[in-house]
Structure 1
Amino acid sequence: MAKAKFERTKPHVNVGTIGHVDHGKTTLTAALTTVLSKYYGGEAKKYDDIDAAPEEKARGITINTAHVEYETAKRHYAHVDCPGHADYVKNMITGAAQMDGAILVVSAADGPMPQTREHILLARQVGVPYIVVYMNKCDMVDDPELLELVEMEVRELLSKYDFPGDEVPVIKGSALKALEGDQSEIGEPSILKLAEALDTYIPTPERAIDKPFLLPIEDVFSISGRGTVVTGRVERGIVKVGDEVEIVGLRPTQKTTVTGVEMFRKLLDQGQAGDNVGVLLRGTKREDVERG
């Protein structure tokens, strides 16, 4: 099947979900793709599509990072659903370091939990510049005062780790209700509110497009008959098909040629700073390249 071409019409921003296990990060990710696809196009993703890696299913907790995309009125977003379990913090570090902003998911029924705090601290340490809060599962809380209490706790926690707790947008809703198409305030409208908060609160990042090309390698795959693909986020510069690039690291530096650039399984004319891309390298063996 011929691959669709990626149309770059809106500014591109990288975000991701963080928060305590079972507070609804993956459900919210599914709700964002589903609701926004109705209004702005794009592909709706089910919970199971996002939570798909086999070892995640075995324990019912998210281990790997899943990448999805969606559009809002103003932007195209790449969204990482981050690992939620304490053991997988190291994986979050590789995922979260790539975010222009994070969506902190907190269950209104439970309030902030140990990993809520841990992920805020991690976000601070790996340099996530902005956090937007989605208070999930508001349908499970009858008392509006309780909701206010949870919001205050979350704001205090953010301030404690040097985020502007008083200014951070806090959206109350139910990701599950939104997924089911519920039109009450906590259903679909809460997702549109969240999208608006992302658009307005997270500034469009300045991309280092004019600098020399640099791509830290996150993963390496081999595709039979095509060669080796490296994936990661372009930190600086631009990469185009036909460019000669160098693989630099622990081993002697090698030169190779880029034979393809893709984003979200769509072909790109060029990858530029800020894009999460796959780059096909001519004549490079899988074992010649490693993560990092």
Structure 2
Amino acid sequence: MSDACTGDACRTLNFNVGVLGHVDSGKTSLAKALSSTASTAAFDKNPQSRERGITLDLGFSSFTVDLPDHLREESGCRDYDNLQFTLVDCPGHASLIRTIIGGAQIIDLMLLVVDVVKGLQTQTAECLLIGEFTCPRMVVILNKTDLLAPEKRQAAIDKMTKRMHKTLESTRFKDAPVIAVAAKPGGPEAAEAEQPQGISTLIELLKSQTYLPRRDPSGPLLMAVDHCFSIRGQGTVMTGTVLQGALSLNDMVEIPALKVTDDYTVIGRNLFKKETNLQLFMGLKVALSTGEAGIIEGGFGQSGKFKIRVPGEGLCAGTKQLLSSSKKKAKGGSKTEPSKEDEASHSQPVSICLTFKRYVFDPHKKMIQS
């Protein structure tokens, strides 16, 4: 989406860059080293992200450069002045793959971040596969070069570069450039005075890799929702990328209510406290008291409610009837106050059982199911 200023003011072309890779490869440090402007969701501002030391949600930040000559020629009469890179910092943990895919849907170019010491890892390969489906261009970042011994550094970088080119031979990114950087020399605990290495070279490479994204300003508004969060005193804030149509400052946008019902989804309540980080429980199996088995698929903010997906044949007829009768009773109610026995019998017509090993060591603090 292009963000044009009125009158003689500048016109800025926006270009979305996804930062993907295996957990702890330095994606957030790279986004921080590149960015000059940060959103409320940038650089792991979520307290749970800081506590666990990994990215749990999409982070958004940006930096602006002069418009490259090849884009100026492509843009023609639109005459953009600046190019804004919006960085979409995606999680790297396997359990957050849905969040990763959500971030990849809006990117124009992918930065695949690789720990130069560890090389290609499990989620590196998964992110590469996601990139093949979602974006046409990619740049491989060999990060953490400061961890290599100085006398062996260049040889190790050359070896890893050859290995990445070999890996990319059979993909759509066979000609993707590979660049080595040290986004946070010394690691996360190092002093801020330590300057990143290779960032200016990376910015020039990114400028050369840009193209004019296809955006359709005509037709009805179509926006991909990237992030939804609350700000004290303001309420719920929704951010996104406009894929079709156009918006101007102070335009009113109406979001229609959307209700999707099917025979494969159950909304659970009262199993978790409101402050529970539901990301820890994503993908775990649960059992319904009516006999079905399901998988925890997602949560609803900090409400404590969560969504269960029942695969296979879905919910049986008896379960659907129980859930339906409970909803009707909750909505309709009665003039006479129900007894405590009636209230208890109808408050939870279907129980949910989650079984897992509570104290199992795991470096990422992920729940291990028994």
Give TM-score scaled by structure 2 length: 0.55
Q: 1:247 deviation in Å?
A: 3.4
Which is greater in Rg?
Answer: 2
Q: 1:244 deviation in Å?
A: 6.0
CA distance in 1 between counterparts of 2:146 and 2:14 reads: 33
Residue 104 (structure 1) aligned with residue 112 (structure 2) = yes
Residue 22 (structure 1) aligned with residue 24 (structure 2) = yes
Q: Which residue of 1 aligns with 2:91?
A: 83
Larger CA deviation: 132-141 vs 6-15: 6-15
Cα contact 2:58–2:227 (8 A) shared by 1: no
Residue 205 (structure 1) aligned with residue 198 (structure 2) = no
CA distance in 2 between counterparts of 1:12 and 1:106 reads: 25
Equivalences for residues 37-186 of structure 1 within 5 A: 42-43=36-37, 50-74=43-67, 75-125=83-133, 127-142=134-149, 143=152, 144-160=154-170, 162-165=171-174, 167-177=175-185, 180=193, 182=195
Q: 1:216 deviation in Å?
A: 3.5
CA distance in 1 between counterparts of 2:234 and 2:184 reads: 41
CA distance in 1 between counterparts of 2:234 and 2:30 reads: 36
Cα contact 1:117–1:157 (8 A) shared by 2: no
Q: 1:224 deviation in Å?
A: 7.9
* C-alpha spacing 1:220/1:133, structure 2 compared with 1 (3 Å): closer
Q: Which residue of 2 aligns with 1:216?
A: 224
* Structure 2 residues without counterparts, runs of 5 or longer: 68-82, 187-191, 261-370
SS where residue 166 of structure 2 aligns? helix
Q: 1:159 deviation in Å?
A: 3.0
Q: Which residue of 1 aligns with 2:336?
A: none
Deviations 1:117-174 (A, max 9, x none): 111111223x1221111111112223233222211222222333x2232x21211121
Deviations 1:201-225 (A, max 9, x none): 1312122113332123445556788
One-letter code of the match for 1:67?
Answer: F
Deviations 1:8-49 (A, max 9, x none): 53321011211111111111111112xxxxxxxx4489xx96
* C-alpha spacing 1:180/1:121, structure 2 compared with 1 (3 Å): farther
Q: 1:194 deviation in Å?
A: 0.9
Larger CA deviation: 240-249 vs 98-107: 240-249
Cα contact 2:38–2:61 (8 A) shared by 1: no
CA distance in 2 between counterparts of 1:140 and 1:219 reads: 34
Q: 1:90 deviation in Å?
A: 0.5
- Say what the alpha-carbon RMSD is for the aligned residues: 3.1
Cα contact 2:144–2:182 (8 A) shared by 1: yes
SS where residue 175 of structure 1 aligns? coil
Q: Which has the higher contact order (CA 8 A, sep 6+)?
A: 1
* C-alpha spacing 1:240/1:231, structure 2 compared with 1 (3 Å): same
One-letter code of the match for 1:9?
Answer: R
When the two structures are aligned, how many residues end up with a matched partner? Answer: 230
Cα contact 1:112–1:150 (8 A) shared by 2: no
CA distance in 1 between counterparts of 2:51 and 2:232 reads: 29
- Percent identity, aligned pairs only, is 32
Deviations 1:255-277 (A, max 9, x none): xxxxxxxxxxxxxxxxxxxxxxx
One-letter code of the match for 1:136?
Answer: N
Q: Which residue of 2 aligns with 1:10?
A: 12
Q: 1:92 deviation in Å?
A: 0.7
CA distance in 2 between counterparts of 1:49 and 1:220 reads: 13
CA distance in 2 between counterparts of 1:219 and 1:98 reads: 12
* C-alpha spacing 1:180/1:101, structure 2 compared with 1 (3 Å): farther
Cα contact 2:217–2:245 (8 A) shared by 1: yes
* C-alpha spacing 1:155/1:247, structure 2 compared with 1 (3 Å): same
